[in-house]
């Protein structure tokens, strides 16, 4: 099952499932948004959606968010988002290369039994499909981190798989590893979507390939792929460490780390357009926006939904 959420003008959040190129509205049987649908499916209680009406084609919903038209939202509204780091060799080597202090700490984590896990925020920190990831006003080297992400139950069961851009201010982390929270947690620091695919429809996610492109002023300036089989840690291992003495909530998202490294000379700029491509999950498109120093969160309900 491939699950999405979308905004319907005048009605708000709706839940959909895809059938080939069509999106069917299953809000009436979902119960609790997409999370309710995912929890029911995991418990073997998948609702009967045979009579669900067609809303639109997926492409018709895969558009820039505007309050006055249908568009994809976050496929799940996570109460908490976590990230895993240094789960690919390339990430460990790159992050150690230009760290001015504590040389080798990332390689040590790569080979250590304990993984790097960090908090990324909650729904308010996230953007959905075709939304905007952001660049902190005090960062000069922000980079995308394209990743496969797990949607989890409180018991640690994988409810489904989605994509996440773990947008990170690498210059802040490099200045001092103790600045990691500021490097990782800010408004627009996680872009999630476009859909959640349940394990019954994706039995071997490590067989997939994830690709990332960056376009700037109409030109592709970066295009790289990685096989998810190069992920050094198992999902079970990451989940076990995340839940060790740490209760998580239904719908928590755990992003599993990146094997795609963007060099400093291609630090993200305002207006950049990114694509994270991984079938059958889909293509997660988003732009980048630099936050001003005097930025404040707008009141809830202002503008398009995330």
pLDDT at 105: 83
Residues 64 and 145 in one domain: no
DSSP state of 247: -
- Residue (of 244, 263, 100, 126) closest to 178 by Cα position: 100
Q: How many domains does the chain have?
A: 2
Per residue in 235-279, pLDDT tens? Answer: 999 999 999 999 999 999 999 999 999 999 999 999 999 999 999
pLDDT at 301: 45
Cis peptide before 194 (omega within 30 of 0): yes
Is residue 173 domain-resident? yes
Of 54, 72, 90, at which residue does a domain stop?
Answer: 72
pTM assigned to the model: 0.93
Instruction: Tell me if residue 242 falls in helix, strand or coil.
Output: helix
55 with 117, same domain? Answer: no
Residue 301 falls within a domain, yes or no?
Answer: no
Q: Mind listing the pLDDT tens digit for each residue in 191-203?
A: 999 999 999 999 9
Compute the average pLDDT of residues 48-66.
94
Q: Which domain holds residue 29?
A: 2-72
46/136 same-domain check: no
CATH number at residue 197: 3.90.850.10
Of the residues 26, 50, 72, which one is the last residue of a structural domain? 72
How far is it, in rounded angstroms, from Cα 130 to Cα 306? 9
Contact 146, 258 (CB under 8 A): yes
3-state helix, strand, coil split of the chain in percent (to 5) is 25, 35, 40
Identify whether residues 29 and 64 lie together within a single domain. yes
* pLDDT, tens only, 29-48: 877 789 999 999 999 987 78
* Residue % of the chain over a pLDDT of 90: 84
Residue 305 pLDDT level (bands cut at 50, 70, 90)? low
What are residue 214's DSSP bridge partners? 222, 274
Is the pLDDT assigned to residue 58 strictly greater than 60?
A: yes
76-130 residue pLDDT tens: 999 999 999 999 975 545 554 555 545 578 888 888 999 999 999 999 999 999 9
Do 278 and 163 form a contact (C-beta atoms < 8 A)? yes
Mean pLDDT of 134-146: 98
pLDDT at 106: 83
Helix (H) or strand (E) holding 291: none
């Amino acid at each position: 099952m491939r699950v999405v959420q979308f905004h319907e003008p005048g009605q708000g959040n709706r839940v959909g499932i895809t059938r080939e190129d069509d999106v069917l509205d299953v809000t009436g049987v979902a119960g609790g948004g997409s999370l309710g649908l995912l929890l029911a499916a995991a418990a073997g209680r998948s609702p009967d959606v045979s009579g669900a009406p067609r809303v639109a084609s997926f492409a018709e919903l895969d558009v820039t968010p505007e309050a006055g038209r249908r568009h994809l939202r976050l496929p799940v509204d996570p109460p908490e988002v976590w990230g895993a780091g240094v789960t690919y060799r390339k990430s460990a080597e790159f992050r150690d290369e230009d760290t001015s202090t504590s040389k080798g700490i990332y390689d040590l984590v790569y080979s250590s039994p304990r993984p790097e896990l960090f908090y990324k925020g909650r729904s308010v920190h996230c953007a959905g499909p075709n939304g905007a990831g952001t660049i902190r006003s005090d960062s000069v080297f922000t980079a995308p981190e394209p990743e496969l992400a797990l949607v989890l139950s409180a018991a640690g069961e994988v409810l489904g798989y989605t994509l996440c851009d773990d947008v990170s201010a690498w210059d802040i982390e490099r200045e001092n590893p103790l600045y990691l929270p500021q490097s990782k947690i800010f408004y627009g620091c996680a872009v999630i979507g476009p859909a959640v695919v349940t394990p019954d429809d994706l039995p071997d996610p490590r067989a997939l390939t994830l690709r990332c492109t960056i376009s700037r002023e109409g030109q592709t300036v970066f295009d790289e792929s990685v096989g998810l089989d190069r992920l050094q840690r198992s999902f079970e291992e990451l989940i076990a460490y995340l839940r060790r003495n740490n209760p998580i909530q239904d719908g928590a998202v755990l992003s599993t780390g990146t094997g795609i490294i963007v060099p400093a000379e291609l630090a993200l700029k305002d207006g950049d357009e990114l694509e994270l491509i991984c079938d059958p999950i889909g293509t997660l498109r988003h732009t980048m926006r630099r936050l001003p120093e005097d930025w404040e969160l707008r009141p809830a309900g202002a503008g398009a939904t995330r």
